[in-house]
Amino acid sequence: MQSEKVIIIGAGPCGLSTGIELKRKGFDPLLIEKENVANSLYYYPTHQTFFSSAEKLEIGQIPFISERQKPVRNEALTYYRTVAQRSELRINTYERVMKVEKQGDSYTLQTKTKNDEEKTYHANYLVIATGYYDHPNSLNVKGQSLPHVYHYFKEAHPYFNQNVVVIGGKNSAVDAALELEKAGAHVTVLYRGSDYSPSVKPWILPNFESLVRHRKVQMEFDAEVDEITTDAVRYIVKGETKEVKADFVFAMIGYHPNQEFLTSVGIIIDSETGRPQFDDQSMETNVDQIYISGVIAAGYNNNEIFIENGRHHGERIANDIVNKETR
């Protein structure tokens, strides 16, 4: 069994930031990541532009230099890889935490590598920084698991001259619709809201509205998806049932944290907000010596915490662990 003072589960931007802050306080945390560094960002669309400026995505006081006002996905992946390397963080990649058990005033972790090797760790403190992008929200309709239904959008080229339905009306849905239309897909967007979402990036909304006005993108507001078939999507608008052809469907309706893992370690989740119970000042949960970092602190409202504010959680966590260790 490998013993560690602090283990961080997740090596996204907020997990990396927490690791750096702990190193500055004299600790040498181990980060365990089920895939690779900044894995959630890897699943962003290939040409994704961030909402935040580069300086607001910085961690560890390491400058993020971008020639653009808003950096793009590939720049961010390069930046976070570089930060991990320069900070000399210990990161076990492609290793998944399977189980956490409390042992007195510390914790035992069971993990499994991509080669199915099982490992056991002992840790005094745990930081959960697992994000939310791995768990797409469910449509709860028949046909949602068909092979042509996706929850992630990467590139538009494969959908040239195809009938594509995008479900959702916020940033990820609008971004996908714009890319698909540009690549020559026949795009229909189904959104349950009655108007454009106020959360859509202000620099892309005018372009999207123009495409809708000129009928290059078909937009249906107040649309509730009823069923997805092999070649169509049935939906209801104000009591009227409609149908649109669909060779491919992108259900861009958001994501949620892995609440099953949180509850398995004893963290209390608010049933209404999905927020785990934690102290704002220390980020410590209701379970002693288990902390959370990043967007999982926001529960269902993933528009509340981004990299630009979640990156500061690490300093609070590091300070609290120092206080505990010096009592």
Contact, 279 vs 302, CB < 8 A? Answer: no
For residue 56, the model assigns a pLDDT of 87
* Biggest distance spanned by C-alpha atoms of the chain: 67
pLDDT at 222: 97
What is the pLDDT at residue 302?
64
Domain range summary for the chain, segments of one domain joined by +? 2-135+255-325, 149-251
CA 113 to chain centre: 22
Four-residue CA torsion sign, 148, 154, 157, 161: positive
In contact, 294 and 42? CB cutoff 8 Å: no
Using one digit for the tens of pLDDT, what is the confidence trace for 66-121? 988 889 999 999 999 999 999 999 999 999 999 999 988 899 999 999 999 999 99
Picking from 172, 175, 155, the residue whose alpha carbon sits closest to that of residue 248 is 155
DSSP-derived secondary structure for 283-299: -BBSSTTEEE-SGGGGT
Contact between 188 and 166 under an 8 Å Cβ cutoff? The reply is yes
CATH number of 2-135+255-325: 3.50.50.60
Question: In this structure, which amino acid lies at residue 229?
Answer: T
In angstroms, rounded to a whole number, what is the distance separating the alpha carbons of residues 316 and 297? 13
> Residues 64, 79: contact at Cβ < 8 Å?
yes
Q: Which residue has the tokens 């090596």?
A: 11
pLDDT of residue 306: 66
Tell me the CA distances in angstroms from 54 to 182, 270, 303, 311, one per residue in order: 26, 33, 18, 13
Three-state DSSP state, 176: helix
Q: Give the other-Cβ count within 10 Å of 262's Cβ.
A: 22
Task: Give the ranges where the chain is alpha helix by DSSP (H).
Answer: 13-24, 39-42, 73-86, 171-182, 205-213, 259-264, 307-310, 313-325
Side by side, the strands of the sheet bearing 163-167 are 149-150, 248-251, 163-167, 186-190, 217-220
Q: Which CATH class is domain 149-251?
A: alpha beta
Token pair listed for 126: 């745990």
Q: Do domains 2-135+255-325 and 149-251 have the same CATH topology?
A: yes
Nearest CA-CA partner of 86 in 65, 59, 50? 59
pLDDT-flagged residues of the chain (< 70): 302-306
Size of the chain in residues? 327
Count CB neighbours of 1 within 10 A.
8
Query: From the CA atom positions of the chain, what is the Rg in Å?
Result: 21
